[in-house]
Structure 1
């Protein structure tokens, strides 16, 4: 085995070539990644030096159930976090006493229609597989790999889950030597494949929709249906995955200060839920993903997620496959695809595009062409289905100011300072005379401790 490693510092960094992702530390008292019972020890320079050594490689890597990165080597497992404690190691047997010893491959299972299995941590060793949920071994495990995944051999090198949007259905890709075994979860059928361009993988990892093959101290990004390489040249893991002193893209994020700390309770200036279910929050020059807790919460400079955009975002909303980002008196429009391509002809004056001069917050609800624009303590509707836009009369809000807003199938959420206020829908918000009870944004969206 070789060097599976970490996705906490990667995805769009590699998609764009030079991003600076930022990981997070686990909430205090939440316990180790596989061990929910005890507090994690502080990291030390020795652990970090071992991770960053030239000859350092890993047997397996995956994310824990709470979204942090696990790196396996020999009888040890590391938990890696860019912010907070330094990377630290502990014996595998501490968290998974039934297993012990080295593991060949690891993955977090993606089966949203099977709650008992969904997000289980699978660890592979020899001819067997162990499945853990909540740090506990699931009943009936360990099992033979071929019994759990018919047609998949033992002695694996790597494994990674592939979601329907990436592979057309829930799939697991297993790697052994120069062969790939694609297991269809719904059918229980395995199809062997040969991907000569990709070659052997010591570990494989999915993070925020991108797939990585890791070998030695290097990695490549690949297309999960064909094995085609999406990065021409291999790159060094320690420049992207591990916060090694003096190396790579992990440097420089300290300048973000509290703005880059998900638990700092600094206000967010805008909030967005797009047509694909992704949720973003904007703070200063950074953009956070809020729906990806299982992959970690990562802020990125807005220009790396929204090409060509610079500076803070004041308001944001999505409609008809497009994302609208408002900055002062201007609005930029991007397509709701993975690459967030900017629509030609933008930015444009906000007044020309929407019929309003400015916006402190804005939101649309799923399936509706009605936009709600919040300015100060007033909210007014805008009919997006008509050109020019038809703007309704403003009505008072039960708030004297709002930083950001969004509407999902769960209701309307308003961000104000460190708190959020939730309403069942626009009608209830417009009829409200008192603010809904506040909740902490950091706790609700970022799983931060109280």
Structure 2
């Protein structure tokens, strides 16, 4: 095995050894899977739904071409890294790879592809591997590059505490140097990560094949595991940046819900009474059409426009807090608000009204109080119009500030509901009868083509 050991900026880049197996696994469980969009989209339980990969990890490391990074400031010795306890603290990055015979690339497949019992036991994880298998086997690398082996990058993970320091790119550079020293002529990988895509693109990797995730048909089930998933693109105002549930959730919990008069009026506790949004945001972000604004000096998210895609073929689906009695009972106060919005939209069929097959529905618009009054919200809506292009747009608004934005941008006002007059269809009460808010009187439904 060719030795790699590089010390830079308080970090040590080196070969992974079998003693690192548990440390690498703990890093994956803590940092890789929870931040991988595919896992979030499929609502995979970590580590239960990926436990099979724990048993396969030693075989990957045994190939001798994986690299890890240690935080040298901790003074941790290599032998200590074998401990599960110190794993996530001492390893800040890992780059496992394997050497593969390309002529057998599609014949020697992952056990989740060849073992039906394992595939059934780990159904969600196996669906991901079938998708990557479908993508990789569409290209004959041996014929294309006239080589018989390569380094195959299996996953790249950097601890969030050390992200954006160039560690991921440096690992790839060192992996390529290692491959050259041991006469491996080609490096290959499949990825659904925009962060990884930027690395490979900047290092002149050839983009050989792409797969729109929403169009992938599982060869086993015949279904589309994430039929609502858009192509992996996140649109941003400042620069490409992933709007994660944790980042958007924090902004909503501290700036959106507490400042929305309806929530405090109902005596809602934050974030307990709006915890449902944590799950809902996963699905919304999955559509890939949400926008954010960040402060370039601090990296702090200061505004967001969360949007989702609705299709004629799916019909007019109601929000889970309206359609699911169990969820409504679990979040009784929050469900009142969604029943009011459901009454506002009523029987209005936007698909028929505008002869549209696809609608971008604006879900949440929030700007940090520290940056209010600077036109950020209006700019977010304008960018959303550019993203939507020929799609139909739908939005509901309750504050005068947002109504001015939609009126100013020539949205059609389709319906208006006087909030104090709303009668809850569940118990016949008028929950907002005594509502008195300077900025809140009516809720309106807007649309624009």
> TM class, shorter-chain normalised?
under 0.3
Scaled by the length of structure 2, the TM-score of the pair is 0.26
Judging by fraction of residues, say which structure has more helix: 2
TM-score with structure 1 setting the length: 0.26
